[in-house]
Amino acid sequence: MTDTAVDTEVPAADQHPVGNPLSDGLRHGRVPLPSVLVIFGATGDLTKRKLVPALYALAADGLLPPGFSIVGAGRSEQSTETFREAMREAVAKYGRVPLREDLWSVFSDGMRYCEFDLDADDGLNDLAENLEELDRERGTSGNRIFYFSIPPSGFAPLAERLGREGLTREEDGGFRRMIIEKPFGRDLDSARELNGKLHLAFGEEQVYRIDHYLGKETVQNLLVFRFGNGIFEPLWNRQYIDHVQITVAENIGVEGRGGYYEESGALRDIIQNHVIQLMAIVGMEAPSKVHGETVRDEKVKLLRAVRPIHPDDALSHTVRGQYAAGWIDGERVPGYREETGVAENSLRETFVAMKVDIDNWRWAGTPFYLRTGKRLPKRATEIAIQFRRVPHSPFGGRVETPAGLLPKDSIDPNLLVLRIQPDEGITLRFSAKVPGQSMRIRTVNMDFLYGSAFLTESPEAYERLLLDCMLGDRTLFAREDEVEEAWRICTAILDGWRSQPPDREGTANYESGTWGPEAARDFMARDGRQWRRL
């Protein structure tokens, strides 16, 4: 087989604050304008494990402009040199790109640390002085990105204070943008309230709601797979697809975040953002062009077509569970209620399975099954598209398979699997004849693996998303109405669960190291289907 690679090169990013280079074709070699990235909460794990290593990788790839600068803003007192040394250790430990002293010297030269205190009248003075100094010394021209790596309770107060100090106002051609991490609210009302408060300081075009799943190569490739190939899109509808399964499985527990998980749970933590975003990309109509607003318009249309689940019907459309003690990779692990920070009688869900119906022309009658859980047998995220069975088998009433003589409908239906993590790739399952004189049919797989196909390492999700924000490309960030539509779906379920709580013993209903509660299997069996074995 011969691979033909086609690189479509476009000019460097639009030099406008909200430019979208994607609208002109595939993005290649984009370098943004000089800017300052201010990381609030700079002493936290996210900065050390993800943000600074991602920025260093961009610098190593030549994708950061001269003069790009980082200001770490924290509540603790420390010097810039101490901050630089901590970030150097973080890049060496967590970075995708090996640390090089010559590159680090240039990269860290644009790094500063300052304290901030929202309770003090002069609590942002140090930050403002650092920003002005960087404009003069490094030519950042007033371009600012504020990264809110802080608890969600601080989002609105920090945005309001930045607005009051005039730090969000775009002047003299410079841009001001903010990036916030999930959760974007706790339900529909709180999401709307948060959006309203953010908009007092930042316009919607300045707000970048980050979801690292959308920065993964396989998720981005889904757009190309669907809309760049003529053989799949004609089959991508209710006529040919029986159902869709989206799974986000984790083999870890709450990892010391019991207090957070008690407030969140699997529905809020994973389904409302990651899984619903994946569902929207799988189900959306083709945009007129791959552009920030046209792509997000189509995703919102899909979410608006999701059939509302009335709170009274929440239990018939969902299954929830909580992991008990069990075994993972030969090691005994505790149950959720034994985790630090978790109430001994907690009813919080760590597993969710749900069925979503989409009322539009493309998907009517083709359900989407979504599931996520902690302490499952393996870590895996995948989208499985199961096609309908052949309408009539020409092989007679019974066919010979490796398992023996079986009814004709036991031939496995075709399946298309997109693996998001780990081992990113795509698998197509189909039936083939086994060589020999008899008619023996066997299911075989055709595999595409990113690593072996391109012989290059995929960038980390945060690399892509941080660069897109610098370029003003909002395609992979959630818009206000996207967030609210996702919460519309989930809030009704939360309301239903609240009015029909499980009994204490009925919540911890799956053993760690299994694929969730038995009720999840029964849930699929009612529809004559079963969860795919990962």
Whether 274 sits among the annotated catalytic residues: the reply is yes
Last residue of a domain, one of 167, 196, 213: 213
> Would you say 16 and 31 are in contact if contact means Cβ atoms under 8 Å apart?
no
Same domain, residue pair 247 and 209: no
Residues 209 and 225 in one domain: no
Q: Are residues 164 and 204 in the same domain?
A: yes
Catalytic annotation, pick one of 212, 243, 274, 317: 274
Shared domain check, 209 and 241: no
Residues with Cβ within 8 Å of residue 383, at least 6 apart in sequence: 222, 244, 245, 246, 278, 282, 417, 418, 420
497 and 438 in a common domain: yes
Residue 321: strand pairing partners: 351
CB 29 within 8 Å of CB 138: no
Q: Could you tell me where the DSSP H helices lie in 397-473?
A: 450-454, 461-471
Residue 327 and residue 200 in one domain? no
The parent domain of residue 485 ranges over 214-525
User: Are residues 227 and 112 part of one domain?
Assistant: no
Pair type for strands 415-421 and 380-387: antiparallel
Does the predicted model carry a pTM greater than 0.75? Answer: yes
- From first to last of its 534 residues, the chain has per-residue pLDDT tens of 334 444 434 333 333 333 333 333 334 457 899 999 999 999 999 999 999 999 999 999 999 999 999 999 999 999 999 999 999 999 999 999 999 999 999 999 999 999 999 889 888 999 999 999 999 999 999 999 999 999 898 999 999 999 999 999 998 789 999 999 988 999 999 999 999 999 999 999 999 999 988 888 888 888 888 998 999 989 999 999 999 999 999 999 998 888 889 989 999 999 999 999 999 999 999 999 888 789 999 999 999 999 999 999 999 999 999 999 999 988 999 999 999 999 988 999 999 999 999 999 999 999 999 999 999 999 999 999 999 988 877 775 445 545 554 554 567 889 999 998 888 889 999 888 888 877 778 888 898 887 777 767 778 899 999 999 999 999 999 999 999 999 999 999 999 999 988 876 556 689 999 999 999 999 999 999 999 988
